[in-house]
Chain A
Amino acid sequence: MPRSSFASKSYRTPAIVLRTHKLGEADRIVVLLTPSHGQVRAVAKGVRRTSSRLGATLEPFMLVDAQLSTGRSLHVVTQAQIRAPYGQRLAADYRSYTAAHAMAETAERLTEDDVDAAAQYRLLHGAFAALARGEQDPSLILDSFLLRSVATAGWTPSFSGCVRCGAPGPHVAVNVPLGGVVCAACRPAGSLSPAPESIDLLDALLTGDWARAASSEAAARREAANIVSGYLQWHLERVVKSLKHVERA
């Protein structure tokens, strides 16, 4: 039996709301990150009305089960149910809120339409869940997410072995364009010389060693955050707007 045209156009997917834009009188365009369809831009009709049932569900950072139908340029959200209301919890803590914005903007830049994005989806889901639990410093979760997100996109940095010759560390110099630490012999001009504690923290953030990361000092966190931000923006070749609004301890 042939499927109806609605059924052939309609699909269901888990999704994370990355951002929203106002559209017309009461609609919104929602940018979703899905595991198997990549980034999806969809119209959510009437959601800005206070009587809308979908309004709260399609807020940024919410993890939802969405029913979408494909359109010519934009998809249309026909139904959505909340799986985890991360947005609500993140808005209640300003530092987590600003960190979540930087994560969402990075995920938006590193994913595309109609391309498998399961790894980026899992990473972002895990990061939002960690922020919502509030067990770690939001800045550490953000920097760990940014490093791993860039690594998932194919630009894995190294903070243990020299990125040029592979000589085992520890090394004292970091070169952002090369993607990590460099030994004394390979060190190009313009390399940074951060404190050894900062390099150790970067390695802990990349490998997910939270015990080591949580024991770091404020100065090391600041220095590591600058290197992570530089590394991210070097590969994206553009400024991540939300990063300058991130409130750090």
Chain B
Amino acid sequence: MYEGAVQDLIDEFGRLPGIGPKSAQRIAFHVLEADRADMDRLADAIRAVKDKVKFCAVCFNVSEQELCNICRDPKRDETVLCVVEESKDVMAVERTRSFRGRYHVLGGSINPIAGIGPEQLHIRELLNRLHDDTIEEVIIATDPNLEGEATSTYLARMLKSLGIKITRLASGLPVGGDLEYADEVTLGRAFEGRRSAIG
């Protein structure tokens, strides 16, 4: 155990995701040895993110204003909505440059064993957004894992009655890999979702 402030810093770093006690100690000593100006900048950045950043009132993406950049952009396609689990998924889809619609961030996926049900996610707000006739297609882009699939199943059931086109992201083989190394579930999905090679 170190004294006072050093131990407090190690404890605080240790509470961050993916950081164990040894990493926490290494980072804390890096902070001690680093330039004061660099560390002041880090402290200011942490303070600013807590002071300025909030969630977009429409899509729940992170934003410094009432509405995020994407919800404010008039050039985005208002008829297509992509539903994702987290804000970082918005960035992942944006990097593809193949989607020009808007987003809705659920804030997680349905995971009852972790105490997360539909009520803990932004599903009610999604239903409210779909009540006007602007949106014609909802793309469910939850993670391709069990919780993501179950959330997709739940959303599809909820949205079926609204008469909107509901699609789910395709799943299958990763680009650049060998077929023999694909696992059974992924390869099975790739077969189920095969498409015509002509046209």
Interchain CB contact under 8 A, B185 and A56: yes
Residue B52 at the A interface, CB < 8 A?
no
A102 to B146, CA, bound (A): 15
A97 to B154, CA, bound (A): 10
Partner of A91, one of B18, B150, B177: B150
Partner of B146, one of A82, A91, A94, A244: A91
Closest chain B residue to A80 by CB distance? Answer: B183
Residue A24 at the B interface, CB < 8 A?
yes
Residue B79 at the A interface, CB < 8 A?
no
Give B residues with C-beta under 8 Å from A: 17-18, 110-115, 117, 144-146, 149-150, 153-154, 157, 174, 177, 181-186
Interchain CB contact under 8 A, A104 and B113: yes
CB of A247 to closest CB in B, whole Å: 9
A125 to B114, CA, bound (A): 21
Interface residues on A, range: 35 or more
Residue A231 at the B interface, CB < 8 A?
no
Interchain CB contact under 8 A, A55 and B153: no
Residue A88 at the B interface, CB < 8 A?
yes
| 20 sample A-B contacts, Cβ–Cβ < 8 Å, listed by A number | A25-B18, A51-B177, A53-B181, A57-B184, A85-B185, A87-B146, A88-B149, A88-B185, A90-B146, A91-B146, A91-B150, A94-B150, A94-B157, A97-B150, A102-B112, A241-B113, A241-B115, A244-B117, A245-B115, A245-B117
Q: In the assembled complex, which residues on chain A have CB atoms less than 8 Å from the CB atom of B113?
A: 19, 60, 101, 104-105, 241-242
